Amino acid sequence: MKKMFIILSLAIMLTATGNSIHKVQAQSLTDIQIQKQLPRVILSTTQLNLSTADQEIQNPQGNIKIINNELKRVSKTIQANNQEIKKIQMDSLRIKTEVKQLEKEILILEKDMDKRKSLLRDQARSYQQSDKHITYLDVLLGATSLSNFVDRVGAIAAIAEADRDLLVQQETQQHQYTNKKISLEKKITTHADMKNKLETLSANLKNQAKEYKMLRVAQKKEKEKEQTYINVASENVGEYISTVINAGNKYIGNSVYVFGGGKNAYDVAHGRFDCSGFVHWAFAQAGIEIGRTTSSIKNDGRHISPPKLQPGDLVFFDTYKKDGHVGIYLGNGKFIGSQSSTGVAIADMTKGYWKNAFKGRVIRI
């Protein structure tokens, strides 16, 4: 019986040792900062509106300034996204380090849990003696005195409490491990999603930048072509008409259509014209005063039949109303004017919309 009491006391000591091991490991796990969050990537302040940009590419207004500004904006966005990608890549290294640390802690936790299981098995075996199962009641009934009985009750209570604590601690640590694993998996998934989104965005932006560059080159060639039309037209007319034709050259691709525009110095300085405002301004550069509206301009000169069209003649188009639009004829079926879709630009009146809108009204100043 004395031997049994010694075994019970030894079990209590082992239980206390196991409890201290748990505290050390739990503290180690607590020290792991695995709840750090990924740095937030704020895209809303730098991200280009892709649908808007695509629409601008598909429906260019012939404004080189707009294209250049968009190209700069896209380039800045690409740089900002590349910086965010680098940050995420650095954070990826940090996460991998946390993963390795967690794996080490998991191994320690598993070893600790194995020790506890072994301790519980040892305690169970300690209740057996000579292949005869001994219960707690047997231990109590084997007391030799009241004092011995009290000691045995205390020892049994301590063992039962220790067993219960071990089970609770084991479940708690298992729960901690599960939560940490879930948290880490979420971080890894979030990290991967962020990186993929940024890489996709950067790829789209690079494609847009390429399209903008191609559009800029195409418009530069178109502007050179338009300049050729103007030069040819200027060579075939008198000096004052040459001045009228060349006046608007600087606004091609650098202006915007504004209804009622071209009536003051601010509009002229910023390339803000409607059709009649541009024509009025162009003739004013040659010292020729004409009306400021299409209604007045069409009565300023003499009517010319379409077959006799010459550079410098004014051509009218039925748009929102009869003779609602006016431009300056350049020759070869081309005219220069301020269109609502392009600002000041050269258009072809031999096909498409302008061909259908031209009803034969030509005025020569």
Q: Give the tens place of pLDDT for each residue, 62-95.
A: 456 677 777 778 778 777 777 877 787 787 778 7
Instruction: Give the pLDDT of residue 105.
Output: 78
Q: Give the tens place of pLDDT for each residue, 4-24.
A: 443 344 343 434 444 443 433
Closest CA to 28 of 93, 94, 111: 111
Q: Cβ–Cβ contacts within 10 Å for residue 303, how many? A: 11
**Contact yes or no for 292/263 (Cβ under 8 A):** yes
**Contact yes or no for 279/326 (Cβ under 8 A):** yes
Residue 194 CB-density burial (10 A; 0-12 exposed, 13-18 middle, 19+ buried): buried
Segments in the chain below pLDDT 50: 1-62, 129-134
Residue 312 CB-density burial (10 A; 0-12 exposed, 13-18 middle, 19+ buried): buried
Collect contacts of 205-208 with beta carbons under 8 A, ≥24 apart: 205/48, 205/74, 205/77, 205/78, 205/81, 206/78, 208/48, 208/50, 208/53, 208/54, 208/57, 208/74
Cβ-count burial 156-169 (b if 16+ within 10 Å, e if not): bebbeebbeebeeb
Domain termination residue (choose one: 223, 245, 273): 223
The whole-angstrom separation of Cα 253 and Cα 222 is: 10
Asked if residue 117 is part of any domain, the answer here is yes
Are 209 and 322 contained in the same domain?
Answer: no
Closest CA to 283 of 256, 312, 326, 324: 312
Instruction: Give the pLDDT of residue 151.
Output: 63
Asked if residue 45 is part of any domain, the answer here is yes
Asked if residue 232 is part of any domain, the answer here is no
Are 126 and 156 contained in the same domain?
Answer: yes
**Contact yes or no for 277/262 (Cβ under 8 A):** yes
Domain termination residue (choose one: 161, 196, 223): 223
- Block residue for tokens 């005869």: 132
Are 182 and 259 contained in the same domain?
Answer: no
Amino acid found at 179 = N
Instruction: Give the pLDDT of residue 174.
Output: 72
Are 204 and 253 contained in the same domain?
Answer: no
Are 186 and 280 contained in the same domain?
Answer: no
Residue 313 carries which DSSP code? -
* Helices vs. strands in the chain: H and E counts, helices first: 10, 10
Domain termination residue (choose one: 223, 246, 270): 223
Are 178 and 279 contained in the same domain?
Answer: no
Are 194 and 304 contained in the same domain?
Answer: no
Instruction: Give the pLDDT of residue 281.
Output: 96
Query: Which structure tokens are listed for 194?
Result: 């962020």
Instruction: Give the pLDDT of residue 83.
Output: 80
Are 217 and 244 contained in the same domain?
Answer: no
Q: For the chain, what is the domain count?
A: 2
- Block residue for tokens 């010319």: 304
Instruction: Give the pLDDT of residue 146.
Output: 63
Are 31 and 164 contained in the same domain?
Answer: yes
* Domain limits for position 219: 2-223
Are 78 and 43 contained in the same domain?
Answer: yes
Are 19 and 138 contained in the same domain?
Answer: yes
Instruction: Give the pLDDT of residue 353.
Output: 96
Q: Cβ–Cβ contacts within 10 Å for residue 220, how many? A: 13
Are 67 and 215 contained in the same domain?
Answer: yes
Residue 43 CB-density burial (10 A; 0-12 exposed, 13-18 middle, 19+ buried): middle
